[in-house]
Structure 1
């Protein structure tokens, strides 16, 4: 849908607003590139708002990312700890990475990150959650997968060379219920990890039967 909103909203079967994010693009009067980096760009768009006003919106253009919530047969979540320089914190996270291989299915990207960062492979994959990490400042999309049927990759088969922040990353297996508690108590702050942990816990109530397949389309 193009143009700007007229005050109406999609309606559900019961006459209420449909609770689902929907595509929409408001008119861009001008677009200026402020910065081009190795991974991200920074852009300022002048956007036409309702009542024919215009406003500038700065945002980060990002290639997107994937994450893997690996859950073992004892319902333990695999967490890694990585230094994040912008926050000046060592943060507990899910194995994750940028969508940096053109045309690669997202589940294959997630499987590669799980293998490289944690040394595990999974037999079955499901789509757990689709996130917009910070929609007021970036177009980044993150798909979180649930990985089950885990096996350790023998060291001699894993030729990934860890560099920079990845060197010496510890791995911990945390019971899913404990991970939920740590997220709610403010002990885990990474937004993808928090969302994935809570989504997995909610999905476990139905035995994960409501999850989408790994190749589910993105909105």
Structure 2
């Protein structure tokens, strides 16, 4: 059975900013009528689970104004550099946020972060064979990143933090659980970094 083909009958722009745009759409519904739906269109993001040789992952704790709290997260950021491929963006975020480089990257998972109202996606990579960025080449962190906390946590403990409710950032939850599962399967489920994006 094929699904109903929903169509956008009208679209009104509500807000346009540097990171996202908001529209109000009128959309045909499966029941035969139409409904109003607000949509946030976003640039998308990338994130990294950086895993060291003894099974630890690097986490950051950063202030997030929308929730008024500091959250444990993965190194991650917007896809806001024109023409930059996704693994290069992920490597840039890893260097900027936690002063690390990686020799090996694999694709972990692609996520729709809030599909009820946003088209935002995040592609999460696994990074291994880590080395520090030399001190004279490190990125100067500003704004919320100026005082971010960096911690190395055993992967199993990070998963336990998810289930204790200590890690609630959706990308971090998805990335950590995917990494633990991939490890338990001998890394056989990892995909190449250039797999088609969602």
Same fold (TM over 0.5): yes
Larger radius of gyration: 1
Which range, TM-score by smaller chain? over 0.9
Higher strand share: 2
After superposition, the C-alpha distances for 1:6-63 in whole angstroms (9 at most, x for unaligned) are xx159xxxxxxxxxxxxx9621100011111221111111001124310011121100
Give the gaps of 5 or more residues in structure 1. Answer: 1-7, 11-23
Instruction: Spell out, residue by residue over 1:155-200, the C-alpha distance to the aligned partner (whole angstroms, 9 max, x if none).
Output: 1122x22110000212100000000000011011111001100010
> Which of 5, 23, 34 is residue 43 of structure 1 equivalent to?
23
Instruction: For 1:157 and 1:207, locate their aligned partners in 2 and report how far apart those are by CA, in whole Å.
Output: 34
Q: Is 1:204 matched up with 2:188?
A: no
TM-score, structure 2 normalization: 0.96
Deviations along 1:105-146, one digit per CA (max 9) or x if unpaired, are 100000000000000000000000100001001000100000
Runs of 4+ in 1 over 2 A off after TM superposition: none
Give the root-mean-square deviation of aligned CA atoms: 1.4
> TM-score by structure 1 length?
0.87
Q: Kindly indicate whether residue 116 of structure 2 is the aligned counterpart of residue 116 of structure 1.
A: no
Pairing 1:18-29 to 2, within 5 Å after superposition: 26-29=6-9
User: How much has 1:104 moved relative to structure 2?
Assistant: 0.9
Higher RCO (C-alpha 8 Å, min separation 6): 2
Q: What is the count of residue pairs matched by the alignment?
A: 198
Q: Which structure 2 segments of 5+ residues have no match?
A: none
